[in-house]
Structures are given as structure tokens and as C-alpha cells.
Structure 1
């Protein structure tokens, strides 16, 4: 199930009222190289990679994986690289049938990046969720667009929380995770974890590894980070897919090159212990101290 909202303004966090999960949950973060413009072929590749994550209840694939994060192709062929969503976000594109099948067969929830065309004409960088029945929905549209993405896409309008078993996951996409308030909004909505399909270019390894570990510790929640890998300059990506524990330590992390599927189990006992020891979510004041007074030199 997916819930959405504006998440605007400060409020006493929902997280204080949301119970912790009762059982562990196995997840997978994928790093892989899609083919620019080949939505059908990339959906088949995604299905193969989901099949490698045997036992995972959630598999997260990279940003824009279905069309590939390749701006020249996205600009030249929007009709061929987009998938269409209906008024409630449903996606019926037959090119995604391999993903529907693998989700049904494995009882798996798949989160995969796509370019989505909405009924009102908006084009968004989105996270599709394929649920264990095989239904596909454009669940979340990237809110923080990076650089030239603004020339091709419209920003998302609201956050979203994905519910799997008794676990709650905030959805973010790449540059969203560079904004601490985005992850905090997910935590305020009761998230136990944060799922981030991404596309980090080679040379950004330091920031890639810092941002998502920080979002985990900031909010004492798990983070599942998927990333594109390899490709040709200037669109060469750096992998490093990872699952971070609620203190920001990697439970699993991929190399900077090469396809990989990183599987880890999220432990509610560890989540509870971390939140008992690091109480930032409960201790944050209603008034964060703004505006600040200027001090004389």
C-alpha cells in the first residue's frame, strides 16, 4: 500500500505513534547498466535482477532504469522512453510484463525508476512500484530535480510512504536524498526506512556514500540505495549500491563498477535499539530556534 501527502510544515512526528515492525524484512539494492531507450529490454533485465534477489520482499532498482538515465535519448524520444500513468497513477504498459510476472511469482515488491507521462501532460522522474499482485503504479515523483533534469521533467508535488508488511518506507529519488528535510519528512510520517533509486555519476563517490549514510543516522532509519553503474562518458555512473543500518553503517555495498544485487535483512530489534540510544526524532524541539539573532562582532 502507498500513502501520500504534502508533508508540509512542522508537526509532532507521526513516528512517535507508529509501532516498530514485529518481524525482520529482507531487501535488495541493485546496481546495473540499462540500455538507453530500450524500455522493454531494460524491464526484462530488471526482472532478471529481481530474480537474483531470492527471498527479498522489496527490490529497489536505479533511477530512470527503464528508459536509462541518458538525457540525449530522453530528450529525443519522449514517446518511446515514457510510460503513461492514469488518473490514479496506474501503469498498464505491456513492456513491463516481465516485472509484473517476477513480482507475482516471488511475492516481491519492486521499486524501479521510470519516466512517467501523466494525464495532465506533466513528465516526471518517478519510482514505479510493482506490487506482489503484478499491479504497477507511479508511486512517487521526484521532488528535487537536479541540473538539466529541469529542462526535461516537472517536479513532484508530494511525498509518499510505501507499506510492506508492517514496515513503512519513505520514497526518494537521488537528489531528494541530498536534502535532509526530505528524509526527515519521511521519518515524521513514521518511516522505518527510506528507499532511494539513484543515478550518481563517476567522480561523485564521496557524496554518494555520505548523503545516504547521513539520512540513515539523521533519522535512525534504514536506507536502501540503488544506483546506475558503468556506461559511457559523460554519462558514466559509479555503482556503490548499498543498504545502510539506522546508524548509517553499510550492511551491504557494491563496488564502483559492475552489476550487482546487494541483499540485506532489516532487523526491528536493531531499529528499536538505535532509536532508544539516539533519540533525535523524539528530542527535536517544536521551535528549532529560527530566526536567529545576529551577534555583535
Structure 2
């Protein structure tokens, strides 16, 4: 059985962003992220989540051609000091918000990962989570992450995932088993994937009776054209806010601890799950 963490004491306002970055323009995209984070903070958001690889843009040809220009370097402790992020540091400080921004990160051991950077309200930036489930051609450019991560903000435990991670029920469940009340997923869903985009993250919310923030890119040129639909889901998988398939949006919603507690009291999958749930059994025939 999994022991669910007690609910936080206070609500938490969050923002899911959908926007179009420019391939390879790390400084320009950081400035765009700062503008959007400021807009979210002005609307009361304490957590702002932007799409997958927003910093360099999710554009594999550019990521392959210019790894030096599109990567940011992380120190042994995960700290990132790239001056191109200075506008975003300032926006986090001014708005008192924590920003989750996905980037291509180069680690001291040479690994290159799709990662979530966390910019805290002091302006400090660290590489907090490396995507574990790489999709398709990402395996030619990046190394898979080695472990999960949980972010703590205002008493809320928030599991970190990136795009394809959220297609695996085990990933969201691992976050919930670590006590997560919510799950933050920067993503990059391509045009034509709307059905799966709208199903996976609602399912992860209901599977684990936790809030989910799904951020997604928009725009671009085929075959790298993205379909928006950013959303915040409640613990039953219902959208509290959802973006259109096109256009820039900052979607703000509030995590309610009372609603979380009520959902978990009514739907007890986390506490009812058996330790050997789903393990194969031998079938005997005579």
C-alpha cells in the first residue's frame, strides 16, 4: 500500500504557459519566458511552467547542429549561471514566483539531457530534473535521466516530469509514492496528437488523485509544429483551465487543498494499491 501525503495547508496558484520559442535563440527565448512569467506572477501565480525545451526550442535540426549554442551548463550541484537567463532571474525575483523552464543541459560528466530548470524567487537557477523517458530521435541527441525529482513550494510537493514521461503511468505513480500533491509536465506535443495530449495528463491526475500542470509549445513549421492545449487538471482529471490549439496563452488556476483531500477521501487508489499489484501470475493447465 502507498501512504498518501497529507494535504498542504494553503492553496497554491499555478500557471501553465503555451508559447512559441525561436529555434536556437536561447537569449531571446529566455526574455520571452521572463515576459510570460511576469504576466503569470501578476495574475497571482506562485509556480509558472513553460513548455519542453523552451529555452533552445524543440527543434532537433538546430539542437543537433549547434549543441554549444543551444545548451546551458550545469555545475556539479546543478547550479546554472548562464547570463542569458538574467531576465528570467529578475522576473522570478520581482514576481516572487518559481519558474519551471525546460532546457538542453550539459553536465560536468559530459551528459546532455532534456531538463527542467527551476528558477526560484531569489533568482537562483538549478537543473532539477532530467527527462527519463526519451522519445524517438531524442535518443540520438540526449542522455536519459537517472532519477525522479520532487519540488517543494509553499508546502506543496510537486513531482517533475517532461512530456513522454507522462505517457507512463509508473512515472506519475512514482511521484505520488514520493508524496506528490501535483505533477508538473513541460511538454512538446506535435500537431495531430490532440487526442493523446488531452488524455495522458488527465489520466495521470486521476490515476494518482493529484493536480497536473501541462505546458505545451505552439507554432513552428512542419514537421515540428506544436499544438498548444496547455492545461491545469484537478485531481479527478478535469481541466481547471485549458488553452486553444494555437496562440500564446498563460493559463492560471489554483490548487485547493480541501479539494485534494476530498478527492483522495472519495477515490482511494493510492492507499488501496497492493504491494504486488499487477505482478504476473503463473497459469496452470492440466
| Distance change (3 Å), C-alpha of 1:296 and 1:250 | farther
Counterpart residue number, 1:188: 177
CA distance in 1, matches of 2:196, 2:282: 32
Structure 2 Cα separation of the partners of residues 289 and 242 of structure 1: 30
User: Which of 183, 194, 209 is the equivalent residue of 1:205?
Assistant: 194
Within the candidate set 11, 18, 35, 1:31 is matched to 18
Please state whether the residue corresponding to 1:31 is helix, strand or coil.
strand
C-alpha displacement at 1:295, in angstroms?
6.6
How much has 1:296 moved relative to structure 2?
5.5
* Residue number among 130, 133, 151 corresponding to 1:162 in the alignment: 151
Alignment correspondent of 2:75: 86
Q: SS where residue 286 of structure 1 aligns?
A: coil
1:247 counterpart residue number: 236
* 1:217 matched residue in structure 2: 206
Distance of 1:192 and 1:295 partners within structure 2: 42
**1: distance between equivalents of 2:255 and 2:278?**
35
Deviations 1:240-265 (A, max 9, x none): 00000000000000000000000001
Distance 2:85 2:176 in 1: 31
Secondary structure class of the residue paired with 1:182: helix
Alpha-carbon deviations, 1:48-100, whole Å to 9, x = none?
Answer: 00111121000000000000000000000000000000001000000000110
Distance in 2 between the 1:199 and 1:176 partners? 12
Q: Which runs of 5+ in 2 are unaligned?
A: none
Could you report, residue by residue, the CA deviation over 1:206-241 in whole angstroms, capped at 9, with x for unpaired residues? 000000000000000000000011111110000000
Find the aligned partners of 2:56 and 2:116 in 1 and give their Cα distance: 13
**Could you report, residue by residue, the CA deviation over 1:88-126 in whole angstroms, capped at 9, with x for unpaired residues?**
100000000011000001110000110000000000000
Q: Output the TM-score relative to the length of structure 1.
A: 0.94
Alignment of 1:1-297 (within 5 A): 12-13=1-2, 15-16=3-4, 18-53=5-40, 54=42, 55-294=44-283
Q: Distance in 1 between matches of 2:150 and 2:93?
A: 21
Structure 1 unmatched ranges of 5 or more: 1-11
Between Structure 1 and Structure 2, how many residues are aligned? 284
Distance 1:72 1:21 in 2: 43
RMSD over aligned Cα, in angstroms? 1.1
Aligned match of 1:4: none
Matches of 2:270 and 2:263 in 1, distance apart?
A: 11
C-alpha separation between the residues in 2 aligned to 1:258 and 1:140?
28
- In 1, Cα distance between equivalents of 2:276 and 2:136: 33
Q: Name the CA distance, whole Å, in 2 between partners of 1:294 and 1:177.
A: 32
Between the aligned partners of 2:279 and 2:52, the Cα distance in structure 1 is: 35
Deviations 1:23-56 (A, max 9, x none): 1000000000000000000000000001111210
Q: Aligned-pair distance for 1:288? A: 1.3
